[in-house]
Amino acid sequence: MTFIKEIKNRKGFKIDENNKLVFDGCCLEDLASIYGTPSYFFSETIIREQCQEYREAFKKWNIDYEILYAGKAFLVQAMAHIINEEGLSLDVSSGGEIYIALEGGFPAERIYFHGNNKSEEELNFAIKRGIGTIVIDNLYELELVEQIANILNKKVNILVRAIPGVDTHTHKKIRTGQIDSKFGIPIQDFLYIFPAILAKKHLIYQGVHCHIGSQLFDMQSYYLAIREMIDMIKAIEKNYEIKTSVLNLGGGLGVRYTEDDTALSINQYVHQLVGQIKIMCNENQLSIPKILVEPGRSIIADAGVTLYRVGPIKQAKGMTRYLIVDGGMTDNLRPSLYDARYEALIVNKFDEEALETVTVAGKCCESGDILIKDIKLPHAENGDLIVLFTTGAYHYSMSSNYNGFPRPPVVLVNKGKHGFMVKGETYQYMNQNHAFPEWLTPKKVT
């Protein structure tokens, strides 16, 4: 087999008149020559199309809604700019992400601040800069936000994160909705602590938030979470005569990494999610609150690819054949962190037969630095160019300088145009904050 079918199944990929593989109008071999490898490449066209698909899906329903892009998946200033232009709001998890967003021109009032241990410094920064909503994760944070808002004489909109007690069929490291979770307040405790929420003079209760996990394909877990959250909203209204105006159901929609993944379309996901909310609100004689969702992966994952060069090729007799590339777990931690699986092809041999089973390994000093185990590819040689698909989410954002490797550049492509979103790091950049205590005298290396 060749990879022609695989190319046609991947968003943004085409074969040009010179029989070269292009991504959003840019030849991959040319991009590798210009920017080097490893490098991340993002399609602006795909990013905008995914945002528009979310907007169009919600517009079909006569409800109030807000789509928050989950910045933890991938956030740089140019991305914040695109998300703003597409009319989405933004979910961030740290002061650093707030800073990136604001520097990218994103309106503070459309930023939602998450996190299970927001520092006093981060909260001060967020409240001073007028961040729209803070998502309260725990009672300690409830008190801290009230104290800071009081000192700054500010009113702060809040959502409160609940744990709905819903388990999911995804990797244990990306489940967040089970009761034994570091995130949120257990739903069975919510009614008891609700008076404490209402007692805060500087906090304006808007509604509730939950998130049950990531890379989800089964809507049944969402249905269970919706039922728990709607029941809680009804109990709040009954016991405290307070209407909950916002229901934030988080993100988690899965995407296709390999042919084994059967992902819902964005339209299917929104249709089933909103349909179920309407049914359950009607059953409970509740008005439908404003619905918030927080897609990250489902907007950005398909929009990104990573290019690598093959270096050494190793194989002991009768053992695994390793293609060792010039990147690895420093630019893609997901396989090492939670056994993530990918598909790839050799760019300069995409139309050749896949003849051998190989393992694509990284260059880090770790035996676990494996990008793809047992993939069938054409016969590989030193210098071949490999593209990994669906690397837009949680790759650059999780990248590191382990082993002293500089982070790769991040490049935006759009219908044949290309340019940096983030320049690749240099050795000098990585060392710019290194220092010597006064009692150490460094020796200059000449």
CATH number at residue 170: 3.20.20.10
Mean pLDDT (the chain, rounded)? 93
Q: What is the band of 167 on the pLDDT scale with cuts at 50, 70, 90?
A: low
Judge if 283 and 187 occupy the same domain: yes
The answer to whether residues 221 and 353 belong to one domain is no
CATH (domain of 19): 2.40.37.10
Examine the pLDDT at 177 and tell me if it is beyond 60: no
Task: Find all residues with CB under 8 Å of 313, minimum gap 6, and list them.
Answer: 321, 322, 323, 324, 380, 381, 382
Instruction: Quote the pLDDT of residue 180.
Output: 61
Q: Work out the pLDDT band at 256, boundaries 50, 70, 90.
A: very high
Please check whether residue 89 lies inside any domain of the structure: no
Domain that holds residue 375: 4-42+302-430
- Residue 212, both tokens: 């049950």
Are residues 229 and 291 located together in one domain of the fold?
Answer: yes
Q: Which residues are marked as active site?
A: 365
For residue 278, tell me if it sits in a domain: yes
Is residue 97 one of the residues assigned to a domain?
no
Which residue, of 295, 328, 354, is where some domain finishes?
A: 295
pLDDT at 443: 78
**Is residue 174 included in any domain, yes or no?**
yes
Report if residue 306 sits inside a domain: yes
Residues in CB range of 15: below 8 A, 6 or more apart:
4, 7, 21, 22, 350
Domain count, the chain: 2
| Cβ contact 370:11 at 8 Å | no
Per-residue confidence at 174, pLDDT binned at 50, 70, 90? Answer: very low
Question: Is 363 within a domain?
Answer: yes
pLDDT of 181: 67
Asked whether residue 231 falls in the same domain as residue 186, the answer is yes
pLDDT-based confidence at residue 390 (cuts at 50, 70, 90) = very high
- pLDDT at position 162 is 93
Tokens of 360: 């694509």
Reported as a single tens digit per residue, the pLDDT across 116-134 is 999 999 999 999 999 999 9
Domain boundary, last residue among 295, 322, 341: 295
pLDDT digits (tens, 9 = 90+) for 62-117: 999 999 999 999 999 999 999 999 999 999 999 999 999 999 999 999 999 999 99
Report the distance separating Cα 41 and Cα 55, nearest Å.
Answer: 25
Report how far apart, in Å, the C-alpha atoms of 117 and of each of 123, 142, 160, 165, 208 are. 10, 11, 14, 21, 18
